[in-house]
Structure 1
Amino acid sequence: MADAADVVIVASAFGTDAVRTGGHLKWAQASRQAGAAGFEVRRELFADETDATPHNLRVLGRQIAELGLWSVFSTPASLYTAQGKLDADALRLSIEEAIALGARFVKLQLGGFAADANAAVIADHLRCAELRLVVENGQLAKGGSLAQFTGLFDALAREGHGGLLGMTFDIGNWAWRDVAPLDAAAPLAAHVEYIHCKTVVGEGARRFPAAPAADDAQFAAVLDRLPRHVPRGIEFPFDTSRVETDAAHYVAWLAAA
């Protein structure tokens, strides 16, 4: 049997309002009880901007670590502006906040990357940071296309910084771009360091994240194509009538899938 994968629970799986009301620590505790290895803190779910101060991030980070969990710091900021330029200010702030939290990964959206990665500047920002920068395929046209991601990793290699950063491969988000996730997995697998696990129900603009079915052959095929050793994040909503049971069930299932 293959080794179990680390499973992370993304805070939003517990519900946006629940996290903003109860705070991240409450749901980190629930994640630990469910058997997760890690917990993804979502900056956009902070109840107040003061939650993002260095002091409060350090406190939260210590509390998460004391539970025996490692953390991901996720921000809605983009690495590149809509015009395709590196957003060095957003990168700097995101790294500073992730370091304060003590995160293993800092996750940004890709944004409007076009051609130049500006890899030397990214490398300079990451020089003393003991974390990994990962960019996620989003639901929007800018930052969600397969061509942008293959172009980014080609550009990093061309600029002499292959391996500088990795990818969060969101299986469900490809649906918003009408891309089959298995088609994206083949060219991107070598760069994937974290997986957001969800499927999608609905059509057009009314698409919603959902839990994969146990017999979902397409979802299983995508997982098989991606690296086995990278952590898998639960980013689909739990059933609010049985949150604890749902969380424990999906952690165990995804670890072994």
Structure 2
Amino acid sequence: MISAVDIVIVASAFGMDAVRADGHLKWAQASKRAGAAGFEVRRELFADEADAAAPRLRALGEATVGLGMWAVYSTPASLYASDGRLDAAALRLALDEAAALGARVVKLQLGGFAGEAHGAAIAAQMDSSHVRLVVENGQLAEGGSLAQFTGLFDALARDGRAGLLGMTFDIGNWAWRGVAPLDAARLLAPHVEYIHCKTTVGEGARRFPAAPEADDDRFIAVLDSLPRDVPRGIEFPFDASRLEADAAHYVEWLAAASTEPVVKATPATPATPRSHA
């Protein structure tokens, strides 16, 4: 038996419109009541750009700590521009905003990584930061390619920068790229420091994130193939008619599914699909 891992609720699980309308703090409070250890703040869900200003981020962060929780700060910005260059300005902004929030982890999209990691430039910015940097596999070809992620970590190792940053492994997002999550997990597990938990329903342009089915052994197999001591984030949408009950149910289920021995998933009927990355 391993120790319980931290379960994080991603703000968008409560519904993007609800978060924009009510603000993140309301849903951090709901996450606490549901039993989550952490809460993921999503920059794209701020109702106003002023919400990303340092005083408001600091207030949200202090309130989150006051709840006894820790924060992830997620931004849709990419670490690498489309031409492969490091987007140093985007990284600096993300680090500064995450620091104001008091986040433990800051998450960016990978973007257009093309072989050169620019490790020294990233390290220079990270030297003054107390936030852990991770990049996430996205749904688009740019920033969602398995080869990009294996290439990134290989490049960092060649440069003597292994461990400079980690990965958010989004189980569901691989479906948009036609990659089996288990195959990706076997290659990337050593670099995974945070897991976004969701599956998908539908195909092509009509594919949506969803909660795992009760008999989804493939999902559990992916969890088993990833580090068992890293936080798991619930990123699938909760049922809008029973948000808090759904949140509590899935926190309990995911905590059980993340420990040994593996507990068979028994989630409720998946919620109505909502599109979010």
Unaligned runs of 5+ in 2: 258-277
| Runs of 4+, deviation exceeding 6 Å | none
Structure-2 residue corresponding to 1:138: 138
Q: Deviations over 1:166-185 (max 9, x none)?
A: 00000000000000000000
Deviates most, 170-179 or 3-12: 3-12
Structure-1 residue corresponding to 2:217: 217
- Cα displacement (A) at 1:2: 3.0
The code of the aligned residue for 2:180 comes to: A
User: Aligned ranges for residues 50-65 of structure 1 at < 5 Å?
Assistant: 50-65=50-65
- Partners of 2:3 and 2:245 in 1: how far apart? 23
The 8 Å contact of residues 86 and 118 in structure 1, kept in 2 or not, is answered as: yes
Aligned residue for 1:195, secondary structure, equals: strand
- Cα displacement (A) at 1:205: 1.1
Q: Deviations over 1:180-207 (max 9, x none)?
A: 0000000100000000000000001111
- Cα displacement (A) at 1:128: 1.6
Aligned residue for 1:242, secondary structure, equals: helix
- Partners of 1:52 and 1:243 in 2: how far apart? 26
- Partners of 2:181 and 2:254 in 1: how far apart? 18
Q: Deviations over 1:64-98 (max 9, x none)?
A: 11000100000000000011110000000000000
- Partners of 1:212 and 1:2 in 2: how far apart? 23
The code of the aligned residue for 2:203 comes to: E
- Partners of 2:21 and 2:133 in 1: how far apart? 29
Q: Deviations over 1:199-230 (max 9, x none)?
A: 00000111100001232100000000000000
- Partners of 1:194 and 1:155 in 2: how far apart? 21
Aligned residue for 1:142, secondary structure, equals: coil
User: Aligned ranges for residues 50-199 of structure 1 at < 5 Å?
Assistant: 50-199=50-199
TM-score, L = length of structure 2: 0.92
Deviates most, 126-135 or 163-172: 126-135
TM-score, L = length of structure 1: 0.99
- Partners of 1:111 and 1:187 in 2: how far apart? 19
Q: Alignment identity in percent?
A: 75
Structure-1 residue corresponding to 2:268: none
Deviates most, 66-75 or 206-215: 206-215
The 8 Å contact of residues 134 and 193 in structure 1, kept in 2 or not, is answered as: yes
The code of the aligned residue for 2:65 comes to: A
Structure-2 residue corresponding to 1:33: 33
The 8 Å contact of residues 199 and 209 in structure 1, kept in 2 or not, is answered as: yes
- Partners of 1:129 and 1:65 in 2: how far apart? 19
The CA RMSD measured in Å over matched residues stands at 0.6
- Partners of 2:244 and 2:54 in 1: how far apart? 31
Aligned residue for 1:148, secondary structure, equals: helix
The 8 Å contact of residues 194 and 231 in structure 1, kept in 2 or not, is answered as: yes
User: Aligned ranges for residues 4-43 of structure 1 at < 5 Å?
Assistant: 4-43=4-43
- Cα displacement (A) at 1:161: 0.5
The 8 Å contact of residues 5 and 256 in structure 1, kept in 2 or not, is answered as: no
The count of aligned residue pairs is: 257
